[in-house]
């Protein structure tokens, strides 16, 4: 009774695209929303952005980097097998209207959700530029697909192996300097979104960042994903994930993202918890 994997494509090392059958997710899903999944009975809940949807076929596409415990498990599931739990669409859809000229800037595997968002902006009549950045050529994916979602696609790589050598911010700066831009949409690693926000602030260009803090339930009931926007506490899962990038406290988000990394490093703490866990009765072991 899980969620069947219909296809799985390795986009590059550790980077996967999977298509899942998820009727309740795709029915009302819009660009900018996310899902939360749990691979197996003892699994954790992790958020992943909706990369593409096919409403006629009830198909959901997600792209992820197999780097942690859960994403590695996810990558090991074969076509025809199932993911135990998958819920969505979550979060507020990206606000789409005709702004004029929009630049979508995406970095790393965070580039996947930019496809639907850019497409939605384009469908709303905007002139859409896309800038996709990655460390190296191998990590650039969906190039042809991305081209269909925008008027012009720019690619940057840190090592210059594909497209322009350097960071997305340099490409962004060039476009901003050459024409009037009405909106910048940033999706990707926090430091990248922070750099984009810093860059556009001086030119006073309205900039949206799609935030990705730690989440548990994704429905607003715990506040794990809270962040400060314009001095106020917001829950990214229900108030976002999109926020005015010039008002987000990025340093706080970076700090909050460290919480469990620190716990993993503190071996002592982990040992204590394990000792504790071993002494606990298995009250509700499922068969």
Partner 1 sequence: MAKEKIERQIPITLDPEYRSANFEEVEKNFTDEQALNEAKRCINCKNPKCVAGCPVNINIPGFIQEIAKENLDAAGKLVRETNLLPSVCGRVCPQERQCEGSCVLGIKDKPVAIGALERYVGDKTDSSSLQITSNGQKVAIIGSGCAGISAAADLAKSGYQVTVFEALHALGGVLRYGIPEFRLPRTALDREINSLKQIGVEFKTNVIIGKSLTIQDLFSDGFEAIFVCSGAGLPKMLNISGENLNGVYSANEFLTRVNLMRANRSEYPTPIRGGRKVAVVGGGNTAMDAARTAKRIGFDEVTIVYRRSEAELPARKAEIEHAKEEGVNFLLLHSPIDITGYEGYVSGMQLQVMELGEPDASGRRKPIPTDKTVNIEVDTVIVALGTNPNPIIQKSALEEGLSLDVNAKGYIIINPETGLTSIPGVFAGGDVAPVGESNAINAMGAGKKAAKAINEYLEKQKTLSHINN
Nearer to partner 1, 202 or 285 (CB): 285
**What angle do the packed helices 190-203 and 250-257 form, to 10 degrees?**
180
Nearer to partner 1, 147 or 265 (CB): 265
67, 79, 124, 273: residue in contact with partner 1 (rule CB under 8 A): 273
Binders in 53-112 for partner 1, by CB under 8 A:
69-70, 84-90
Look-up of token digits 């001095």:
231
CA 276 to chain centre: 35
Please give the sequence-ordered ranges of beta strands (E in DSSP) within 92-225, or none if there are none: 101-107, 127-134, 152-157, 164-165, 183-187, 207-210
Q: How far is the CB of 49 from partner 1 (least distance, A)?
A: 15
Distance CA 29, CA 48 (A): 13
Encoding tokens for residue 23? Answer: 């009727």
Nearer to partner 1, 70 or 200 (CB): 70
From 186, 161, 162, select the one nearest 172 (Cα to Cα): 186
Distance CA 134, CA 231 (A): 32
Q: How far is the CB of 174 from partner 1 (least distance, A)?
A: 35
Q: How far is the CB of 91 from partner 1 (least distance, A)?
A: 9
- The count of residues interacting with partner 1 (CB under 8 A) is 54
Cβ atoms within 10 A of the Cβ of 244, count?
Answer: 13
226, 229, 236, 243: residue in contact with partner 1 (rule CB under 8 A): 226
277 binds partner 1 (CB under 8 A): yes
Are 184 and 244 spatial neighbours (Cβ–Cβ below 8 Å)? Answer: no
Cβ atoms within 10 A of the Cβ of 54, count?
Answer: 12
From 40, 65, 35, 16, select the one nearest 215 (Cα to Cα): 35
From 87, 82, 89, select the one nearest 27 (Cα to Cα): 89
Part of the chain binding partner 1 (CB under 8 A), chosen from 110-118, 147-155, 197-205, 220-228: 220-228
51 binds partner 1 (CB under 8 A): no
25 binds partner 1 (CB under 8 A): yes
Binders in 253-272 for partner 1, by CB under 8 A:
255-256, 258-260, 262-264, 269, 272
Q: How far is the CB of 286 from partner 1 (least distance, A)?
A: 9
Binding site for partner 1 (CB under 8 A): 24-25, 27-28, 33, 38, 42-45, 69-70, 84-90, 216-217, 219-224, 226-228, 233, 235, 238, 252, 255-256, 258-260, 262-264, 269, 272-274, 276-281, 283-284
């Amino acid at each position: 009774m899980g969620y069947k994997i219909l296809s799985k494509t390795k986009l590059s090392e550790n980077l996967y695209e999977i298509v899942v059958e998820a009727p309740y997710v795709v029915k009302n899903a819009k660009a900018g929303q996310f899902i939360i999944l749990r691979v197996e009975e003892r699994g954790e809940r992790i958020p992943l952005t909706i990369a593409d949807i096919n409403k006629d076929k009830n198909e959901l596409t997600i792209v992820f980097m197999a780097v942690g415990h859960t994403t590695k498990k996810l990558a090991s599931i074969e076509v025809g097998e199932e993911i135990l739990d998958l819920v969505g669409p979550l979060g507020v859809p990206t606000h789409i209207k005709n702004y004029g000229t929009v630049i979508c800037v995406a970095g790393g595997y965070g580039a996947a959700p930019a496809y639907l968002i850019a497409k939605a902006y384009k469908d709303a009549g905007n002139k859409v530029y896309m800038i996709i950045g990655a460390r190296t050529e191998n990590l650039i994916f969906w190039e042809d697909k991305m081209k269909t979602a925008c008027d012009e696609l720019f690619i940057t790589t840190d090592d210059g192996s594909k497209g322009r050598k350097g960071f997305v911010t340099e490409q962004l700066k060039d476009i901003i300097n050459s024409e009037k831009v009405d909106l910048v949409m940033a999706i990707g690693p926090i430091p990248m979104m922070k750099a984009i926000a810093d860059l556009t602030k001086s030119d006073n260009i309205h900039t949206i960042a799609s935030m990705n803090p730690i989440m548990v339930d994704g429905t607003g009931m715990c506040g794990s994903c809270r962040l400060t926007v314009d001095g106020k506490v917001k829950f990214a899962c229900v108030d976002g994930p999109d926020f005015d990038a010039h008002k987000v406290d990025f340093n706080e988000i970076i700090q909050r993202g460290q919480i469990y990394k620190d716990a993993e490093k503190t071996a002592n703490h982990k040992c204590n918890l394990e000792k504790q866990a071993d002494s606990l009765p298995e009250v509700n072991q499922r068969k």
